[in-house]
Structure 1
Amino acid sequence: MFIEHPSQALNSLFRDKPYQGVNPEEAKFLFIGLDANYEAQIDAKPIFAKLREYHKDGAAFWRSHQVHHPFLLPQYSGDGRFYHRSFARIGFTPEHANQVSFIELLHLPTVGRSSLVPADLNEEHLSKLSQIVLAGTAQHIFVPQAVARLMHATGRFAWLLKRPSEQFGPLGILYRQQAKTVYSHLHFSVYGKFEARKINEATAIRSLISAGI
């Protein structure tokens, strides 16, 4: 169950591009999430102009503002900042802007707390996502554990293992085919007792950037 975000402007941005960052069909690093969640009145806040700029061209935004997401700009301090600060710890830079993409299982932006089930998801969007992973350019695909569970529950991702077949450091491997690997990792919003592992996972992902693989 979820609540679709009330902002017509935000929904319009997602209808045009149901992803963030570079087009996922052209990415090298692809991060899959559950849903893109925003506070209810985000379109009434000054940051929304930057959000609109970002959703229209995430790579250009990154190069222009030197951060991968508007929630990292100094004028913003609301929900979502912690997630993106954790992601930034990986070490991607603006020169990687054309390589990084974010896509969610749910094709619409949400507000409030979501508890997604397979019936909430759009079949066409899921089919497209599976095609992007299997046939797209992405070499490194990252899936948090809760996302993987929902992907399994849909029955549309038979290629995705339920348990890692091997490890890349702290990252479990759920699929590998030639130059393409799907990794299991912690959600970037976890904290407390999970913080040390999250840092180790960020270091492992950074090594993939450094190795140029």
Structure 2
Amino acid sequence: MSKICPKCGKELPDDARFCMDCGYTIDKQESGGLLNNFPLPTLFIVLIVAILIIGGVFILSSGSGDNNNAPDRTDEVTHAVDLTIAGVGGWDSDSGKKSYTLYTEGIFNSVPGNLKGYNVKTTYYDSNGSEIGHETEKLENVYYDTEFSISFGYYTTYKLPDPDHVKVEIINGGKVIDSYTEQIDTNKIDYLN
């Protein structure tokens, strides 16, 4: 028998203590939190790698030149959200009518101090640029303080989607203040392999 991740739905081995897909701690009650899931040397290495990755992203995003993921900063709104899209995953369900779910993983490098009024709209597109579907969520329901990527933008359909790219928009006051687009690596989507 296998465990199912309560956050992303990924099937896991019985002895799994965290989800290998989204990083969610499975044994929160028993383990006392994420730090107890790793031996100290492993945790130290993970923290150093995370700091190096975040530092590299910061250096790349602050450098000169065009950046396809850089948000349009031509309006007067303060851009308080900095997001790195880590990838898109997906799974299918055989229970009842066959369904297909897509979700986005992202690292929120910075967020505003007050999350109220901010929404995250995640839209999935096919290779023709046609919308497959989208999900809009409150940022305060998506974001939590972590060094790992956060899964959000869960979209389920009964028609087999063929995703090509994802667009994540940060909305405040009904206005898009940040936008990030990323090509989808279909190798990370279970039902396409």
Question: TM bucket by the smaller chain?
Answer: under 0.3
Give TM-score, length-normalised by structure 1.
0.23
Instruction: Tell me which protein shows more helix as a share of its residues.
Output: 1
Q: Rg: which structure is higher?
A: 2
Structure number with the higher strand fraction is 2
Where relative contact order (Cα < 8 A, 6+ residues apart) is larger, the structure is 1
